Amino acid sequence: MKIAIAQINCTVGDLAGNVSRILDFVARARGESADILLTPELALCGYPPEDLLLRDDFYRDCDAALARLAAGVSGIAVVVGHPRQVGRKRYNAASVIRDGRIVATYHKHALPNYTVFDEQRYFEPGCEACVFDVKGVRFGVNICEDTWGRQGPALANTGAAGRTCDAGEEGASGAQAPLAARDAGAQVLLVLNASPYHVRKQQTRYDVMRRRVAETGMPVVYANMVGGQDELVFDGASFALDNKGALTHQMPMFEEALGFVTLDGANALPGEITPPLSPEAEVYSALCLGVRDYVGKNGFPGVLLGLSGGIDSAVTLAIAADAIGASKVHAVMMPSQYTADISQIDAREEAEKLGVHYSEIAIRPVFDVFMAALAGEFEGLAADTTEENIQARVRGTLLMALSNKSGSIVVTTGNKSEMGTGYATLYGDMAGGFAVLKDISKMLVYRLANYRNTISPVIPQRVITRAPSAELRPNQTDQDNLPPYDVLDAIMEAYVEHNRGPEEIEAAGYVRKDVDRVVQLLRISEYKRRQSPVGIRITPRGFGKDWRYPITNKYRHRFD
């Protein structure tokens, strides 16, 4: 008995393309004598379809696509994820296809409604087990959240398929859906997933699935989607556990792949295990995949970015070149009267080493025109951040003009530490279509720079060791206005990712004035973040779908 895992890169809404991709994997799996092909969650339409799921015509088109897929399946059982509408009820579904026919359909029981997930907005929960037989082995089907044991309707304890739902929450023993599959006779659990990446996510998956194995006694085959979808990156990393919870198969991260799990009776035999990546390699690979798919799936011919000679733009440039190829990347150095000579020297070296197209456009003449136009309005007023922001906005305007002419998308270079504290200029360095480092703290930027240089030395060491500066006034450094980045990042992580209050953060060893400063900046910068480009999420909580704070907000912590 051989189960094939289709770790595929689906595109939301590309029904014809997704069907073609699944059929290609069907043919490859059948060529390797596989008996079952398991696809990811909602593979037919891509994940997450968001408010497409509120459209009746979307379900009709998905049904037609499912029928086309079924017509192309023979000689193998295919488990495919898709949305389904029954009357006015809508479900996150998985269907079993054999010899051109749908022989069984499962509706996801537990609908996640936390962090980036919003499935209760779209779907009704299912409550019936789905079990099918291949070569005398009985397979149960679950979908992603069903196995996590955090929520979902409890099931009537009838011990049979076709059961009806009881009201109530999940039992203390764990997730209900895997137990329902076991009670309905399943011997092996097949799990379809669209589980987005964040750091340390894979270990969490292992831990959760091992609990399900311990509760049910069933081996688990876990198929996860791969690819970038707006701010989300799906890392694949599909795997299998035997009935003792031992890892028997591990597929690669961040790439499409077809894997095979061999069963001996109803248990998984040891197979191929791809070695894990280092933490920095994981994040770097996630960023490259996010850029590649955002640019490619949206049809942009390339990317533009402002190259400053600083570390953020250097890392962004390396990621862009690695993701889509140097020939599609245009770096623009826009020096001002405050730009250090070494910044220009380092920028040229970075562009040359990566082989990207490079331009220099001095902004002083444009800045002077702005200042002349505003001279009457500014008369008698001292220079301040206004003049600094004009420089940033001149650069943003130049990049957007080049974008309009070429069709390439501007990628911004600001990091999470800057987005958190508002250390960025609206319509200036925030101008663009995609924020590569939006969820990357400053200290992680340094780690990524050092990691990339282990592959080939493309970022000058001086860029890594220099004090970071916006270079918008004489002798400026970031630390003129901010706590040291290691302190800032730790406070921000505690507040943003762990919801800790200022008193808790101070109790963890941080100075009260630093905590006050960072929390205050986080609070007052919400209006900027709401206008920032979408960016790649790599932490458990980024400034995107799972950050929903009000702009108009008078709440103050007791600590304030």
Report, as residue numbers or ranges, the catalytic residues: 41, 108, 144
Q: What is the CB-side half-sphere exposure of residue 22 using CA atoms within 13 A?
A: 36
Tokens at residue 319, please?
């990621």
Task: Please state the separation of Cα 206 from the chain's center in Å.
Answer: 19
Closest by alpha carbon to 97, among 66, 128, 62? 66
11 neighbors 48 (Cβ within 8 angstroms): no
Q: Report the C-alpha gap between 213 and 208 in whole angstroms.
A: 9
> What's the chain's Rg over C-alpha atoms?
26
**Angle at which helices 311-324 and 341-354 cross, to 10°:** 10
H helix or E strand, kind and range, residue 204: helix 201-216
Q: Which residue has the tokens 């900027």?
A: 528
Contact of 178 with 152, CB cutoff 8 Å: no
Q: CA-CA distance, 539 to 493, in Å (whole number)?
A: 10
Measured CA to CA in angstroms, residue 50 lies from 47, 117, 165 at distances of 8, 9, 26
Give the strand pairing for 188-193 and 101-107: unpaired
Burial of residue 51 (CB within 10 Å: 0-12, 13-18, 19+) is exposed
